[in-house]
Amino acid sequence: MLKRAFLFNGIGSKPEKLLINLPPMLMEKYESYLDDAFSRLGLNKDIEKNSAYNGRVAEWVISLICDRVVFEYYIEQGIVPDIGAGYSSGIVSISACFGSVSHEFAHDIIMMNRSTMKCLEQNNMKLDMGVIIGMSYEEASEYLSRRFSPDELIVGSGNSSFHVMISGRADKIEEALGYALEGGALKAFSFGTGVAYHHPVMEAYTKEYNDFCTSIAYSDPVYPMISGFDCRMITTGDEVMRENVINCYTPIRWDLTLKELERLGVTEFYDVSANGAVKKFSRVARGKCRMYSLEDVLA
């Protein structure tokens, strides 16, 4: 019987928002992991001193390090998962925390995003992602399809009954934000990332990334995982590898993933992000289930 799930967040949180929530005892561990990782990867701890691509991936590596610190803290507290799920680049994070790959390899996967960004730039692809708050996956898909084709943009992730991520051409994302507000969205904003993760167009630009993901053998995860793409159970190293490979260009159904976890019996959801980001945009059945963040556990 599955009771407790760990949820790993993707990229998007600024380091300052992540680090403010780490108490001194965890901060010490974070600093140690950060020193090791950044010196190995040749990244500057002063993020702004990195080149453009390095600066971006440096922030994402920081997210992974924070996840690791929080994950290890939960385990030390006796909070052990029965299963886990990764949202977007949270898949890379969970792959390392659940023992399928080393943390160093996970950082290297994140670093490979630089080649994806360079490839997009060389091909003059102007892409972006955005968030619409106040619409479900079904509502946003139906509404946006009235004006935009799937080649222009798609709902890249249905997160909850009120939160979706959209992904596609930068000009169309910008147009869609205003259109969403006209349609009753509470808020809509773009990421300005220059990439369109979870849109199929990305497959053509992630070859190096994917080749790298498949360059080693993955171990079976210590705890089972569930796919955020199609709710499949993942228990082998090869399946974890597949999740990493399809991650950049496959739409996510986080909302359905959480529902499937509930159906499997999960009632305790632990957000492994340092700033409770997953808890904010996810929803589980009220009364029956509960979602805990680091803040809750520390309290």
Partner 1 sequence: MRELTDQIRQEIKDMIFDYYAEECEVDRDEITMDTNPQEDLGSDSLMFVELIEMTADKYGLDIKLQSIGKYMLKSPMDTMSSVVDMFCKIYQYGNDIVNQ
Instruction: Assess 182 for contact with partner 1 (CB under 8 A).
Output: yes
Contact 244, 95 (CB under 8 A): yes
Look at residues 151, 153, 146, 180 and name the one whose alpha carbon lies nearest to residue 168.
Answer: 153
Instruction: Assess 288 for contact with partner 1 (CB under 8 A).
Output: no
Instruction: Assess 105 for contact with partner 1 (CB under 8 A).
Output: no
Contact 219, 133 (CB under 8 A): no
Q: Measured from the CB atom, is 119 or 297 closer to partner 1?
A: 297
Question: Shortest Cβ distance from residue 26 to partner 1 (Å)?
Answer: 19
Provide the angle, in degrees to the nearest 10, between the axes of the packed helices 52-76 and 103-111.
150
Q: Measured from the CB atom, is 121 or 262 closer to partner 1?
A: 262
The binder of partner 1 chosen from 29, 114, 259, 280 (CB under 8 A): 280
Q: Measured from the CB atom, is 135 or 240 closer to partner 1?
A: 135
The binder of partner 1 chosen from 181, 256, 264, 289 (CB under 8 A): 181
Euclidean distance between CA atoms 115 and 63, whole angstroms: 19
Within positions 119 to 138, which residues make up the interface with partner 1, using CB under 8 A? 133-135
Question: Shortest Cβ distance from residue 293 to partner 1 (Å)?
Answer: 13
Q: Measured from the CB atom, is 56 or 283 closer to partner 1?
A: 283
The binder of partner 1 chosen from 1, 46, 286, 299 (CB under 8 A): 286
Instruction: Assess 281 for contact with partner 1 (CB under 8 A).
Output: yes
Instruction: Assess 17 for contact with partner 1 (CB under 8 A).
Output: no
Q: Measured from the CB atom, is 118 or 187 closer to partner 1?
A: 187
Instruction: Assess 12 for contact with partner 1 (CB under 8 A).
Output: no
Instruction: Assess 186 for contact with partner 1 (CB under 8 A).
Output: yes
Question: Which residues form the interface with partner 1 (CB under 8 A)?
Answer: 133-135, 139, 162-163, 181-187, 280-281, 286
